[in-house]
Each structure stands twice: as C-alpha cells, then as structure tokens.
A and B are shown apart, each in its own frame.
Chain A
Amino acid sequence: DGGITQSPKYLFRKEGQNVTLSCEQNLNHDAMYWYRQDPGQGLRLIYYSQIVNDFQKGDIAEGYSVSREKKESFPLTVTSAQKNPTAFYLCASSRGRTRDNEQFFGPGTRLTVL
C-alpha cells in the first residue's frame, strides 16, 4: 500500500524535553510538509522540503527543526523552545510544489505536553 505513515500516534512530553515525530512516505514524492493543527483553526505550515537535503521555514517554524536526509523521510523535532507545543501534527507529501499538485496527508501525531 502506498501512503504516508506517522509515528507515534500519541506522544506525551515533559516540559523542557525535545521530541521527534516521524514521517515516512512511499509515494516517491519529492515534496514533504509539516503542519500544526489547533482546535478551531486551519492547518498552519511549519516546514517544507522540496528536495533531499533542502528545506524551508513555513509560517510558524520557531521552536521546530527538521531534516531531509532521505527522500522518503522528513522527521520533525519539537524543541524545548516551542512555547506551546500541545497540538495535532500532520505530515503531508506531494509530487511537487506546483499549484495543481494535491497534498496527501498522514494520520497525524497528537502531542501533549505535561
């Protein structure tokens, strides 16, 4: 089955800890994205990558970091600098960043800071 997997599904973190969220895709897509979703809001873009070893900040990158060492993997690290990290995190991928390319989404990771 082709698709996007995210792990873990639920994640609990103590304040001051860094955590890494996994995102893997086997769709052979070039572009990958990380979004944050809060209740009553649309998705907000954290980071995106159009090609291996390259990535750009989105609208709310502060307190987050990413890497893109392999085409199929785009992990997101939520650092202790992120002031309000409790949220639902969604990873997505697309063939490219042109306007007609829809994004395919993973099932999400719900992060809770205790």
Chain B
Amino acid sequence: AQSVTQLDSHVSVSEGTPVLLRCNYSSSYSPSLFWYVQHPNKGLQLLLKYTSAATLVKGINGFEAEFKKSETSFHLTKPSAHMSDAAEYFCVHNTDKLIFGTGTRLQVFP
C-alpha cells in the first residue's frame, strides 16, 4: 500500500532561521506529491505540488520542496522562518486518492 511518512511530529525554530520539514513516500512509478498547511481550526491550504516536472518546486510564502527519487523524499524548506509560519504541515501523496502524512507541527519562537 502507498504511504507517506513525516519524520518529525514537531519542529521548533527561531524566527529568521531555516525551516526543514521532512517527508518520505512509498515508492511509486511517478508520484504526485503535495504539501498543505493548516492553521488552527482552519481548513488546509495548498503550499506546493510536484507532478513530475521540475524536481525543485517553489510554492507560496517562500516555501519550496525538492523531489529526490533516489531517496523517495519530498522535504519542505524555507530559508527564513516567520512567526506566521507556525502551523501544521501535511505531506500528501496523490494516487487514486489522497494519502496524508500524520502532520508536522511547526513552532516559531521570536
């Protein structure tokens, strides 16, 4: 069965420092991968998606993710965290349905 693993349930960073949220997916011949963000008591918002074009995908709010087939990874990064980035982040693998990771809660300290 297809699966998605988010390696950290919580990540804490200081404002202005880099963010790294890790995601691994189970092998698929041609994966379709997304990152969504969820602020408290809100719906999910799409940050970016990979659909077999460029391996480095740029998203909204300065986020980007790199698809590495050899490592079956799709890690999310941002060079400089902002307080407003504090939220829950979900890595999602789209097969014939969306398969969600269990989420990573990002805390940003001033």
Contact = CB atoms under 8 A, between A and B. Distances in A.
A100 B43 contact: no
Interface stretch (B12-20, B44-52, B66-74, B78-86): B44-52
Contact of B42 (A41, A99, A107): A107
B102 A41 contact: yes
Nearest to B42: A107
A76 B34 CA distance: 26
Given A97-B96, A99-B95, A42 B43 contact: no
A41 B88 CA distance: 11
Interface residues of A, number: 24
Contacts of B96: 97, 99
B44 A90 contact: yes
A61 interface: no
Contacts of A110: 41
Nearest to B99: A42
Contact of B43 (A44, A99, A102, A108): A108
Contacts of B41: 88, 108, 110
Contact of A42 (B32, B34, B101): B101
Contacts of B95: 99
A63 interface: no
A92 B97 CA distance: 12
Given A42-B90, A100-B32, A100-B51, A105 B43 contact: yes
Contact of B94 (A6, A42, A58, A99): A99
A6 B96 CA distance: 25
A45 B49 CA distance: 20
Contacts of A99: 32, 51, 94-96
Given A42-B4, A99-B96, A100-B51, 12 more contacts: A41-B103, A42-B90, A43-B100, A45-B97, A97-B96, A99-B32, A99-B51, A99-B95, A102-B34, A103-B98, A106-B43, A110-B41
